[in-house]
């Protein structure tokens, strides 16, 4: 074990050079309350008991670790899929929203706000608010509301109020601004649920801890199957980085395990239409923390592009920026086309239709030189039902 852990940030929320809490003065009371209370609350036995019960009976955990035989044969290696696609609501995001809502209730909050781009985080948040009977407001860009009608309908059916953000580009960053404005105006009764390992300290650490159940389970499940808790590789896609943080967490300080993070290269890393943050990004401050982000010479955020809405983000969380900077993480990217091809391959070899986000992780299998003795764990972050329209377009194009 190294003397400093990759798992835990400094008391100020730094992972190496990255992290911290860069927030407007008016948000200090809200964020400080969280900073002071999150660890104590998360460690309470009563909290842990309720969190674990809901993960088991409501989410359906532990999710299986499945040996993908035909995919393994294809790559002449051993591939295990961590089936987060089998979680209630179809992806890993609910692990975090359950954790945060239990925390919010213990802080005495009666109102939940969130922002969402594609709607996946909004649906996970609306779901747990219905579960707990608590008011839920989801901010969403007006353009995204038009583009993501099925998820908007889901949120409304679950009882959430979806509020359009009508300023600027009418997309995710405008929704984020609206959510922050709301939180400033309602510091006492409202908790803001952030959906990935991004945002000011303590969010990256808090979300990583909630998602760490993924690698906690992987360790004993892999031991049952192979006799060892340690794989040679763990592969995950990275938007903000929460499924990767969860899949890596209990392996961060096991230096024999290669951690492979796969970003979205869009039309190609150098095409101008990409979301490959580590390849293109420079240090900067976005959404309350210092990290790597895609920006122009004078620090304007560059609009990212990915075929997959969940990876279409111009930054990554500070933990991942540190894993990249320190060399602990192995960062790769996959293009829209590579991801699409990988999704069809997995569907036909394993009978599993992965989310477009996850398809990027599968695409990385082509780039890694895997050996027959390797034991590879791939985090299957979500299912592809939500991406069927995009997949169908591809089938029409290929005449399949
Ligand atoms: C949202 C999402 C992602 C990307 O978010 P991370 O925080 O990087 O995990 C990946 N996969 C699926 C299925 C998602 O819904």
Catalytic sites, residue numbers? 93, 115, 381
From 320, 342, 360, 382, mutation site for ligand 1 pocket: most ligand atoms within 8 A of C-beta: 382
The arithmetic mean of pLDDT across residues 294-314, rounded, is 86
Residue 134 belongs to a domain: yes
Q: Find out whether 316 and 291 touch, Cβ atoms under 8 Å.
A: yes
What's 375's domain CATH number? Answer: 3.40.50.1100
Are 270 and 158 in the same domain? no
What span, in angstroms and rounded, lies between the C-alpha atoms of 188 and 213? Answer: 30
Sign of CA dihedral 93, 367, 390, 274: positive
What span, in angstroms and rounded, lies between the C-alpha atoms of 278 and 259? Answer: 15
Residue 10 belongs to a domain: no
Residue 247 belongs to a domain: yes
Residue 138 belongs to a domain: yes
Q: What is the pLDDT of residue 3?
A: 53
Q: Is the pLDDT of residue 347 over 80?
A: yes
Q: Is the pLDDT of residue 203 over 50?
A: yes
Q: Is the pLDDT of residue 317 over 70?
A: yes
| Helix, strand, coil share (%) of the chain residues, nearest 5 | 45, 20, 35
User: Ligand 1 mean position to 243 CA, how many Å?
Assistant: 6
Last residue of a domain, one of 179, 206, 233: 206
User: Ligand 1 mean position to 341 CA, how many Å?
Assistant: 19
Residue 4 belongs to a domain: no
Are 107 and 223 in the same domain? no
Q: Which residues line ligand 1 (CB under 6 A)?
A: 91, 93, 120, 196, 237-244, 310-311, 355, 357-358, 381-382
Q: Is the pLDDT of residue 294 over 80?
A: yes
The arithmetic mean of pLDDT across residues 341-363, rounded, is 97
Closest atom of ligand 1 relative to the 196 alpha carbon = 7
What is each CA distance from 182 to 26, 112, 137, 314, 344, in whole angstroms? 11, 10, 10, 23, 42
98-114 tens-digit pLDDT: 999 999 999 999 999 99
Domain range for 75 = 60-90+212-398
Are 171 and 251 in the same domain? no
225-248 tens-digit pLDDT: 999 999 999 999 999 999 999 999
113-166 tens-digit pLDDT: 999 988 999 999 999 999 999 999 999 999 889 888 999 999 999 999 999 999
User: Ligand 1 mean position to 56 CA, how many Å?
Assistant: 21
Confidence of residue 308 (pLDDT cuts 50, 70, 90): confident
In the chain, the number of structural domains is 2
The arithmetic mean of pLDDT across residues 253-276, rounded, is 94
What span, in angstroms and rounded, lies between the C-alpha atoms of 305 and 297? Answer: 19
Are 135 and 266 in the same domain? no
User: Ligand 1 mean position to 64 CA, how many Å?
Assistant: 18
What span, in angstroms and rounded, lies between the C-alpha atoms of 226 and 213? Answer: 20
């Amino acid at each position: 074990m190294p003397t400093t852990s990759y798992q835990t940030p400094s008391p100020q929320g730094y992972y190496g050079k990255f992290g911290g809490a860069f927030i407007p003065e008016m948000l200090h009371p809200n964020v400080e309350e969280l900073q002071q209370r999150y660890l104590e609350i998360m460690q309470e036995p009563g909290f842990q008991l309720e969190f674990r019960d809901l993960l088991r009976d409501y989410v359906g955990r532990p999710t299986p670790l499945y040996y993908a035989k035909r995919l393994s044969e294809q790559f002449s290696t051993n591939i295990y899929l961590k089936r987060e696609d089998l979680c209630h609501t179809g992806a890993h995001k609910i692990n975090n929203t359950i954790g945060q809502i239990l925390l919010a209730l213990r802080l005495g909050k009666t109102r939940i706000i969130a922002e969402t781009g594609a709607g996946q985080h909004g649906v996970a948040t609306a779901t747990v608010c219905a579960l707990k009977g608590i008011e839920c407001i989801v901010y969403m860009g007006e353009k995204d509301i038009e583009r993501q009608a099925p998820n908007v309908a889901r949120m409304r059916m679950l009882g959430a109020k979806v509020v359009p953000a009508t300023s600027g580009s009418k997309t995710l960053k405008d929704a984020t601004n609206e959510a922050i404005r709301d939180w400033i105006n309602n510091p006492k009764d409202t908790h803001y649920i952030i959906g990935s390992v991004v945002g000011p300290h303590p969010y990256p650490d808090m979300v990583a801890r909630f998602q760490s159940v993924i690698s906690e389970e992987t360790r004993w499940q892999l031991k049952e199957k192979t006799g060892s808790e340690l794989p040679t590789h763990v592969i995950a896609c990275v938007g903000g980085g929460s499924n990767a943080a969860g899949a890596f967490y209990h392996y961060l300080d096991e230096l024999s395990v290669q951690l492979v993070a796969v970003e979205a290269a869009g039309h190609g890393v150098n095409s101008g239409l990409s979301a490959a943050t580590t390849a293109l990004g420079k240090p900067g401050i976005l959404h309350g923390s210092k990290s790597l982000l895609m920006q122009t010479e004078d620090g304007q955020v560059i609009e990212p592009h990915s075929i997959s809405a969940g990876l279409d983000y111009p930054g990554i969380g500070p933990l991942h920026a540190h894993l990249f900077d320190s060399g602990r993480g192995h960062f790769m990217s996959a293009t829209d086309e590579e991801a699409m091809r990988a999704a069809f391959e997995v569907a036909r070899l394993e009978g599993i239709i992965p989310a477009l986000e996850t398809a990027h992780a599968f695409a990385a299998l082509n780039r890694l030189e895997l050996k027959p003795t390797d034991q590879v764990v791939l985090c299957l972050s979500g299912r592809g039902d939500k991406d069927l329209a995009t997949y169908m377009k591809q089938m029409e194009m290929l005449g399949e």
